[in-house]
Amino acid sequence: MKNLRKITRDSLKTIKGGLRQCPEDGDCGPNWCCANGACRLISGASPSTYLCTYYPID
């Protein structure tokens, strides 16, 4: 039991197969976009799967 480490909420979601929640500015990182409140791959975006959310740049 001594070797166990704390697992953050984000890590736990990844382990369970969930998606990371979008940051406030919508920047999920390179090749990722915010869709329906979760970070998803841009390569998987299409009208039949999901659409990326547009965040205007100030």
Q: Which pLDDT tens digit goes with each residue over 2-35?
A: 556 666 665 555 555 578 888 888 889 999 999 8
Q: Which residue has the tokens 């976009």?
A: 33
Query: Which whole number is the average pLDDT over 39-56?
Result: 89
What predicted TM-score, i.e. pTM, was given to this entire model? 0.62
Dist. CA 10–CA 37, nearest whole Å: 14
Q: Which whole number is the average pLDDT over 33-51? A: 89
- For residue 14 the two structure tokens come to 């990844």
Question: What is the signed CA dihedral for 53, 42, 34, 55, rounded to 10 degrees?
Answer: -40
Q: Which two tokens stand for residue 37?
A: 């409140």
